[in-house]
């Protein structure tokens, strides 16, 4: 790590005071109410053009910024869509999704604010979000319950949308069922004649919300068959992968579903270094359909996951904001399908 040295002792210089609307009023020679009418573009009050100009010039000279909080006291942040920031470093698929969503909401004149998610959970989190008075809240993952939703609605959020495995009362739900990802992978490996199937479960914290249902999906796909499912904890390091590959012979597996393409790449390399032939000895399949999977040899089979389009999601948010009393919508939005290449 690059160190940032600490300077010796704090100086005692004072900060310039923050200009207020009273300062603007004084400089422009008008009342505070007039300043407020002009800067908030209140249509109901007639103010002459020269006065408007004087107020704007005074505000500019002083560097006065109208306070969003003052406006939000009346109306809430009418264009702010709040999302908790991801509680784990975002992967490439999710980063691209958030980016696209941000653009789509921007085109509809909303601004996405991502609220630092670490160390906050459940209703405590909902309370913190509510304090910012967003017009809509978009919550990926699990953890928000009906009480949290109600609290957000009472605080003025016109829409709460969850993205997760289950619907929550009072909120719109985009149902993302990661079980289907595992089910796809399991069914594919079975159809390819594999019967002793390992499932990589990342040891990195915070991924359980995805890895557990994926594992359950593999089990469901193989339920009632003679195939076995073996859980394989794996950290995202070469050492962990080498340790797993070293006991591959003892495990007696003929296939692995590796959670996603990055873990698949890690596992496949370790198996190859150990002399395990892919796919002859062991088939390997990932998920996410990242470009890197196509660059590997053998080319990596994968489960392509289709997230909802940012544009569709932005339109749902906008619909919900315009009709806050409407019946909550429920949509299944996670598409999962196998892309077979050369590793299975």
Site for its own copies in 175-234 (CB under 8 A): none
Number of residues in contact with its own copies under rule CB under 8 A: 97
**Bridge partners, 286 (sequence order):** 302
Compute the least distance from the CB of residue 62 to its own copies, in Å: 8
Cβ-based nearer residue to its own copies, 149 or 227? 149
Residue 200 CA to residue 216 CA, distance in Å, equals 12
Q: Is 293 left (phi over 0), alpha (psi -120 to 50) or beta?
A: alpha
x/- contact string, 43-82, with its own copies (CB under 8 A)? -------------------xxxxxxxxx-xx---------
- Using omega within 30 degrees of 0 as the cis cutoff, is the peptide bond preceding 51 cis? no
Query: HEC string of 78-112?
Result: EEEEEEECCCCCCCHHHHHHHHHHHHHHHHCCCEE
Cβ atoms of residues 132 and 80 within 8 Å: yes
Confirm or reject binding of residue 291 to its own copies (CB under 8 A): yes
Cβ-based nearer residue to its own copies, 131 or 230? 131
Binds its own copies (CB under 8 A): choice among 7, 193, 205, 224:
7
Cβ-based nearer residue to its own copies, 161 or 189? 161
Confirm or reject binding of residue 16 to its own copies (CB under 8 A): yes
Compute the least distance from the CB of residue 263 to its own copies, in Å: 11
Residues 294-333 that bind its own copies (CB under 8 A): 294-295, 306-309, 312-313, 315-316, 319, 322-327, 329, 331-333
Residue 58 CA to residue 45 CA, distance in Å, equals 20
Residue 248 CA to residue 195 CA, distance in Å, equals 15
Confirm or reject binding of residue 246 to its own copies (CB under 8 A): no
**Both tokens assigned to 211:** 């890895």
DSSP 238: H
Q: Other C-beta atoms within 10 Å of 157: how many?
A: 27
Cβ-based nearer residue to its own copies, 158 or 214? 158
Compute the least distance from the CB of residue 93 to its own copies, in Å: 10
x/- contact string, 112-151, with its own copies (CB under 8 A)? xxxxxxxx-------xx-xxxx----------------xx
Compute the least distance from the CB of residue 302 to its own copies, in Å: 15
Q: Other C-beta atoms within 10 Å of 48: how many?
A: 8
Cβ-based nearer residue to its own copies, 222 or 317? 317
x/- contact string, 87-116, with its own copies (CB under 8 A)? -xxxxx--xx-xx--xx-xx----xxxxxx
Residue 30 CA to residue 35 CA, distance in Å, equals 7
Binds its own copies (CB under 8 A): choice among 184, 258, 265, 303:
265
Q: Which of these, 182, 258, 193, 257, lies nearest to 227 by C-alpha position?
A: 193
């Amino acid at each position: 790590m690059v160190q940032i040295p600490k300077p010796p002792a704090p100086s005692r210089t004072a900060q310039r005071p923050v200009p207020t609307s009273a300062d603007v009023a004084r400089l422009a020679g008008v009342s505070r109410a007039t300043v407020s009418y002009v800067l908030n573009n209140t249509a109901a009050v007639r103010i002459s053009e020269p006065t408007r100009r004087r107020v704007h010039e005074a505000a500019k000279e002083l560097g006065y910024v109208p306070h969003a909080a003052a406006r939000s006291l009346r109306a809430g942040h009418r264009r702010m869509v709040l999302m908790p920031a991801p509680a784990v470093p975002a992967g490439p698929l999710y980063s691209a999704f958030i980016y696209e969503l941000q653009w789509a909401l921007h085109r509809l004149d909303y601004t996405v604010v991502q609220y630092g998610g670490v160390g906050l959970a459940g209703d405590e989190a909902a309370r913190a979000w509510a304090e910012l008075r967003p017009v809509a809240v978009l919550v990926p993952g699990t953890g928000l319950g009906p009480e949290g939703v109600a609290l957000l609605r009472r605080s003025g959020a016109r829409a709460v949308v969850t993205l997760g495995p289950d619907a929550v009362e009072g909120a719109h739900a985009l149902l993302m069922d990661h079980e289907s990802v595992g089910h796809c992978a399991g069914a594919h490996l079975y159809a390819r004649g594999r019967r002793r199937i390992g499932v990589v479960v990342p040891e990195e914290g915070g991924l359980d919300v995805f890895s557990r249902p994926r594992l359950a999906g593999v089990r469901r796909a193989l339920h009632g068959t003679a195939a076995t499912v073996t859980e394989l904890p794996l950290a995202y390091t070469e050492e962990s992968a080498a340790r797993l590959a070293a006991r591959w012979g003892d495990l007696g597996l003929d296939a692995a579903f590796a959670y996603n393409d990055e873990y698949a790449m890690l596992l496949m390399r370790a198996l190859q270094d150990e002399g395990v032939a892919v796919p002859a000895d062991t088939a390997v399949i990932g998920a996410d359909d990242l470009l890197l999977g196509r660059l590997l040899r053998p080319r990596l089979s994968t489960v392509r996951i289709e997230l909802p389009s940012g544009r569709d999601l932005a339109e749902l948010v906008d619909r919900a904001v315009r009709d806050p009393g409407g019946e909550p919508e429920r949509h299944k939005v996670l598409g999962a399908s196998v892309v077979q290449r050369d590793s299975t």
